[in-house]
Chain A
Amino acid sequence: MRFALLFFYALLPMPSLAAGFDFSIGYGQSRDFWQTVQAVQDRTGNLGEIQSVIKDKYGKPDLVYSYLDAAYTYPHEAFDSSFLGLVVVGTRAEALAGGEISNPISPQIEAYANSVGIFSFGLRSMPEPTANSYIDARLMAGLGPEKKLYAQGAEFIDAIPVRSGTLILGGGEIVFLNRSSYGEDFWITTDILLRGIYFHSSTPPPKSRPKEEKSHVAWRWKLQNEWLKQTDTFLSSRTRFGILSVVGQNPQPFLTLPVSWDYQQKIELYPGLRSISGIGGIIRFLSESATPNVALYGGYFGGAFGAGVDLQLGSVLLNASTYGIENRLTPAREKTRIWNASLGVAL
């Protein structure tokens, strides 16, 4: 959503005030895996009933998350630059839960849940009508409670212990957006995200997996491009259509996953070509004043079909989308279909 909000600045018909406020909320889910966990826990010692709960759930990871992201910006006087002319102070609250049961021959169950509060501080470009590039660079730190569960094989028989602790994180993030036109009717929009975060959890490892990592450095990168041709259609005189390409971990366009997802999934810099590539089509219907506008997109992102719709109404940006998200809890890297909705407001 932060991508979208920056993009939104670029599309605003009038320059925003130098001091501003933006916030976004988002929610996405497949199913609540902790309900399955509870069902298994309730049947402790009864293998027949445990088996009936999990027999059709192998390789079907689940995920649910929500977040609220807010940022306040104001001009600074430390140096003279419109490109980095705003100080941005942000806060974010997010909750994430998920898990997976895998491999009926060597069965294992893994679940996690955490909520994190994150404070961020950095610099952002001033929105100007003539500028084509925007940047948002921040340092961030946060912490919150976490709980985890893991069992393998015979451990299914006993009460599976839920382990809990605190997750702390610290790092930085740069979001860069550029929009360029070539000739009168061809546009390329480039979004780049680079984020490096150090995570550390105090949650103890499970007995049967004593070497489980408690710390993780996650490097997330994403390059998203829209290659758009503008034409006149009966729906809009400024209809832009073209290709939407994404590379990076979780290459789903316009999707903001929780920061703590990178820790729970232990993301790698390069998880494989299939896991970092996404391509599809997009069509934007812009009004003369550029607002409101609608965008529809769909494609094959990270090895699964995904699609969504963006609706921009004044200072409000709405998005609804569905994607297949790769889950890295097990070697199978199964995908789970999530349904995501978000709302962003820039004032």
Chain B
Amino acid sequence: MRYLILFLPLLFLACAPESVDRYHTGENEEEIVSLLNEREYGKAIWLIENREGRDPKGETAFLLAQAYLGRAGIEPLAFAARVTEEGPDSAAARTLFPNCPKGRITGKVEMKCLLKRVYLHAPPADEGDFARARELFRKSYPNPAVAPEWVNTLIGMVDTISLVRRAGDLFLYSKGIKTAGGKVQFNPADVKWLSQQGKESLRDAEQALARANHSGEKVSRFLSGVKANEWFERVEGTMEFAKTVGLSRFLDFVRENLLKASDEIRYGEALDRLKATLELLGQ
């Protein structure tokens, strides 16, 4: 019995957590990271939202965002690997910069071809899980200046994927617009979508730039495995331009910076239509 007496106080002493808050936070993170390791993203989301609600803050929001990103099909290393591996053969791939190499990227590659690869692997920018991940990431660490470098890298990567996807969608949309007698014709029901894409693109770009400014070249490197500081240098200039002169001239700037003369010949007409569309939207 005396040993039981020795045993029990030790057990009770050992069971006492240092503090209730720390105990719960620790247990939460332990379970969530464990579920992420198992790629049980749905369970991780369920667990966090049931415990913390749909609007958690700080580190919990960051964990929830990771779970949503996983469920959206984006594991950063796997995504970057897919971008550098053989490109998919889809209708979009054949339409968008068809002369870009289709095989594995090994050396230097044109920026537009890299962007094309990112576009082809990106989920729709407004797809539920991806959009929620993006919003939660931004909310979890709202100030890039005080966020850890890796946090900025991950959030910047998500916003860049989102931006590239929107830009690609707009570009492909413009190629599908019909003209009649030289005038642009498009479905008026698309106006809302076009307007939203324009505004959200600017928001994505702002976020991506802010994060990139605090994580060096890592966003672009992590996204594609390729050093691409110039991505953000160009986007930054374009952003400033867009803010002051509007989206249609923003498009001009993109054409000047991203497209070669031969591309301009090939895609010029489609881009003209897109520009006209944006002007119609009053941007």
Which residues of A are interface residues toward B (Cβ below 8 A)?
45, 47-48, 50-52, 54-55, 58-59, 102-107, 152-154, 156-157, 178, 180, 188, 190, 208, 223, 225, 245, 247, 270, 272-273, 276, 330-334
- A233 nearest CB across to chain B (Å): 26
- B211 nearest CB across to chain A (Å): 12
Report whether B26 and A272 are in contact in the complex, using a CB–CB cutoff of 8 Å. Answer: yes
A105 to B153, CA, bound (A): 12
Q: If A103-B33, A188-B3 touch, does A50 touch B66 (CB 8 Å cutoff)?
A: no
Report whether A51 and B78 are in contact in the complex, using a CB–CB cutoff of 8 Å. Answer: yes
Q: If A154-B153, A332-B34 touch, does A104 touch B221 (CB 8 Å cutoff)?
A: no
Report whether B104 and A332 are in contact in the complex, using a CB–CB cutoff of 8 Å. Answer: no
List 25 A-B residue pairs with CB atoms under 8 Å apart, sorted by A's residue number: A47-B77, A47-B81, A48-B104, A51-B81, A55-B78, A103-B36, A104-B77, A105-B70, A106-B76, A106-B150, A152-B150, A154-B222, A157-B222, A180-B3, A225-B7, A245-B7, A247-B7, A247-B10, A270-B18, A272-B27, A331-B29, A331-B30, A332-B34, A333-B30, A333-B34
Report whether B84 and A276 are in contact in the complex, using a CB–CB cutoff of 8 Å. Answer: no
A59 to B94, CA, bound (A): 39
Known: A276-B14, A333-B34. 11 other contacts (CB 8 A): A104-B75, A107-B77, A152-B150, A153-B222, A154-B218, A157-B221, A223-B10, A225-B3, A225-B7, A272-B26, A331-B30
Report whether A223 and B39 are in contact in the complex, using a CB–CB cutoff of 8 Å. Answer: no
B10 surroundings in chain A (CB, below 8 A): 223, 247
Which residues of chain B in 202-232 are interfacial with respect to chain A, using CB atoms and an 8 Å cutoff? 218-219, 221-222, 225
- A40 nearest CB across to chain B (Å): 11
Q: Which of B33, B34, B76, B104 contacts A153 (CB 8 A)?
A: B76
Report whether B150 and A208 are in contact in the complex, using a CB–CB cutoff of 8 Å. Answer: yes
Q: Which of A54, A103, A273 contacts B15 (CB 8 A)?
A: A273
B78 surroundings in chain A (CB, below 8 A): 51, 55, 104
- B6 nearest CB across to chain A (Å): 8
